[in-house]
Amino acid sequence: MIIIASISGWKPAPYPQYGAAKAAEIYLARELGRELAPERIRVNAVSPGSILSPGGDWDSFRDRAPERFARFIERDFPFGRLGTPEEVADVVAFLLSERASWISGTQICVDGAQGRPTPSAW
């Protein structure tokens, strides 16, 4: 089982209700991983950082405020870019495969070492 959480569940950001919900998902993955292990059910959380997808919020932000977007990238993304949906999907596919048979009850971040989850002062 994979729970899609977010880096907002463990990195300070605006929208505390969202962060608290994502933190709960990370906690749930940890506890269900332990609880369901005797049944041979693995449970993990995947916590994506900012993911750029066509027509998504980050795509819209980039179009609406290109200078702020560029500052956000420069400040918070050591790789100089946002992630892609395929990069998250690759991690999910691995975790669901037998190659990850000893991984359970944990969180895997797919964030490229991202700093803050959102640009300051939306």
CATH code: domain 2-110 is: 3.40.50.720
pLDDT, one tens digit per residue, over 89-108 is 999 999 999 999 999 999 99
pLDDT, one tens digit per residue, over 65-93 is 999 999 999 999 999 999 999 999 999 99
pTM value?
0.91
Known catalytic residues? 18
Domain parsing of the chain, residue ranges: 2-110
Closest by Cα among 88, 9, 14, 16 to 51: 88
How far is residue 120's CA from residue 72's CA, in Å, rounded to a whole number? Answer: 8
With a cut of 80, say whether residue 21 has pLDDT above it.
yes
